[in-house]
Amino acid sequence: MDRIEVRGTKSFRGELTPPPDKSISHRAVIFSSLADGTGVVRNFLRAKDTESSMHAFRALGTDITDEQDTLVIKGRGLHGLSEARDVIDCGNSGTTIRLISGVLSGNPFFSVLTGDESLRSRPMARVIKPLTRMGATIIGRDDNRYPPLAIRGGRLAPLSYEMPMASAQVKSALLLAGLYADGLTEITEPARSRDHTERMLPAFGAALTVDGLKVSIQGGRPLTPVDIVVPGDFSSAAFFLVAALVVPGAEVYIRNVGMNPTRTGLLDVLGAMGARIKTENVREVSGEPVADLYCTGGSELRAVDIGGATVPSLIDEFPVLCVAAALADGVTTIRGAEELRVKESDRISAIAAELRKMGAVIEEFPDGLSIRGAEALLPAEVDSHGDHRIAMAMAVAGLTTQGVTVINGASAVDISFPGFFGLLRKFSA
Ligand code: S3P
């Protein structure tokens, strides 16, 4: 199914529960593996990305039983992991390789981490440099910049560190290493990135405090297991939200969506564009806010300017937001989003290239892009660039044309949203 056809539709209707949150699923496996005792993870995301974390911890000696979306994890404690007998393949997952690098930095054995072609081109100096300062030995390809990484962990000193970019993966890697350090590790971000680690680690008993943009963790405390229920992934729901907005007369109800405010920047931006999205039944699940969303199409969308500290709160939603912008009235400008260049693909050039094939008028900047909205997009043959979110964004764009859009590399959706195309078809029927 690497080549999929998406037909333009006049109707888009239905109810869905999005797949479980990817970021929270990764963290549930990692933190449970480090706890002293058995924990259960319910509604775990069964997708390629999160399975990379599961396989990595199995290779490090954690006993994980999986029955569909429920995992039972026998944690080995902070110091109970064992050396893997082979290279650990992190697949396409930046979260797996970066967070595990933090854990392995505190473990006195040898590890080699690698991944697919995309992961092997993603920047790792952002974790290697601070982890090396804490006392780990890490070397990577191309002058310590890219995977494969070879790590020999050991005794770690605490770190006081100002991060050069907002990144939850870097922040979490350093906090995990901080669990092993003798003293207080303090990490400050330039803008707030997603805070799932800060919410979940204290539930395991970690001595973690948050003060504005600074997160501190006291090393040396053991973790106790907790049972976790993973909420639905806002970033997956986002494709159906935007689809509902760009297909006239659409009506979509999305249940059990994670509403962590460090993740829902897209709702504010779509609101500013004129979208009508209702939030209902706000509740809390495992320390994370959750709600149901109701969205109807047919509003005239207006262009917006996006930049600054809001960028991290919608970092994974830019590909699909660009689709909304391509159909809005006016020119949408996105700046300060240079991190998009180092995601699963270079998402600035990927989305610009693919939307241009559908007739969009786009200017690229080093840190973003501007998109002149048009009345309609044209069907085309497009490419996912091996990136799940580009594949899904282009599928949403395809729904709005009067023809058939072909998406090459469509199986990339299995990274975070297996079953995406089936649901899309059901909603368009
Ligand atoms: C993630 C953090 C973000 C995000 C990624 C998942 C996480 O990456 O883009 O999809 O789970 O911590 P950065 O930390 O590189 O911004």
Percent of the chain with pLDDT over 70: 100
Q: Is 95 in the pocket of ligand 1 (CB under 6 A)?
A: yes
Q: How far is the CA of 136 from the centre of ligand 1 (A)?
A: 23
Q: Indicate the top mutation candidate among 49, 315, 321 to test ligand 1's pocket, ranked by most ligand atoms within 8 A of CB.
A: 315
Shortest-distance Cα residue to atom 16 of ligand 1: 167
Atom of ligand 1 minimally distant from the CA of 235: 10
Tell me how far apart the alpha carbons of residues 307 and 276 are, in angstroms, rounded to a whole number.
22
* Catalytic residue list: 316
Q: What is the pLDDT of residue 298?
A: 77
User: Once rounded to an integer, what is the mean pLDDT over residues 277-305?
Assistant: 96
Q: Is 21 in the pocket of ligand 1 (CB under 6 A)?
A: no
The DSSP line for 199-257 is HHHHHTT-EEEEETTEEEEETTPPB----EEPPB-HHHHHHHHHHHHHSTT-EEEEEEE
C-beta neighbour count of 156 within 10 angstroms: 23
Contact 335, 365 (CB under 8 A): yes
Tell me how far apart the alpha carbons of residues 156 and 219 are, in angstroms, rounded to a whole number.
9
Domains, the chain, with CATH or none: 3-20+231-428 (3.65.10.10), 22-209 (3.65.10.10)
Q: What is the pLDDT of residue 299?
A: 82
Please list, residue by residue across 395-408, b when 16 or more beta carbons sit within 10 angstroms of its beta carbon and e when fewer do.
bbbbbbbeeebbbb
Tell me how far apart the alpha carbons of residues 395 and 2 are, in angstroms, rounded to a whole number.
13
User: Once rounded to an integer, what is the mean pLDDT over residues 185-208?
Assistant: 98
Q: How far is the CA of 316 from the centre of ligand 1 (A)?
A: 8
Q: What is the pLDDT of residues 47-79, one digit of tens each?
A: 999 999 999 999 999 999 999 999 999 999 999
Q: Is 193 in the pocket of ligand 1 (CB under 6 A)?
A: yes
C-beta neighbour count of 284 within 10 angstroms: 10
Q: What is the pLDDT of residue 61?
A: 98
Q: Is 25 in the pocket of ligand 1 (CB under 6 A)?
A: no
The DSSP line for 49-60 is HHHHHHHHHHHT
Q: How far is the CA of 407 from the centre of ligand 1 (A)?
A: 25
Q: Is 296 in the pocket of ligand 1 (CB under 6 A)?
A: no
Q: Is 316 in the pocket of ligand 1 (CB under 6 A)?
A: yes
Atom of ligand 1 minimally distant from the CA of 342: 15
Q: How far is the CA of 30 from the centre of ligand 1 (A)?
A: 15
Q: How far is the CA of 194 from the centre of ligand 1 (A)?
A: 8
Atom of ligand 1 minimally distant from the CA of 343: 9
Q: Is 198 in the pocket of ligand 1 (CB under 6 A)?
A: no
Q: What is the pLDDT of residues 311-346, one digit of tens each?
A: 999 999 999 999 999 999 999 999 999 999 999 999
1 has a pLDDT exceeding 90: no
Q: What is the pLDDT of residues 102-129, one digit of tens each?
A: 999 999 999 999 999 999 999 999 999 9
Q: How far is the CA of 169 from the centre of ligand 1 (A)?
A: 5
Q: What is the pLDDT of residue 295?
A: 97
Nearest residue to 19 (alpha-carbon basis) of 295, 257, 267 = 257
Shortest-distance Cα residue to atom 13 of ligand 1: 167
Q: Is 256 in the pocket of ligand 1 (CB under 6 A)?
A: no
Contact 19, 232 (CB under 8 A): yes
Tell me the pLDDT of the chain averaged across its residues: 98
Map tokens 């390629």 to a residue.
48
Cis peptide before 148 (omega within 30 of 0): yes
User: Once rounded to an integer, what is the mean pLDDT over residues 354-383?
Assistant: 98
Q: What is the pLDDT of residue 392?
A: 99
User: Once rounded to an integer, what is the mean pLDDT over residues 229-241?
Assistant: 98
Q: What is the pLDDT of residues 127-161, one digit of tens each?
A: 999 999 999 999 999 999 999 999 999 999 999 99
Q: Which two tokens stand for residue 234?
A: 């806002």
Q: What is the pLDDT of residue 283?
A: 98
Q: Is 49 in the pocket of ligand 1 (CB under 6 A)?
A: no
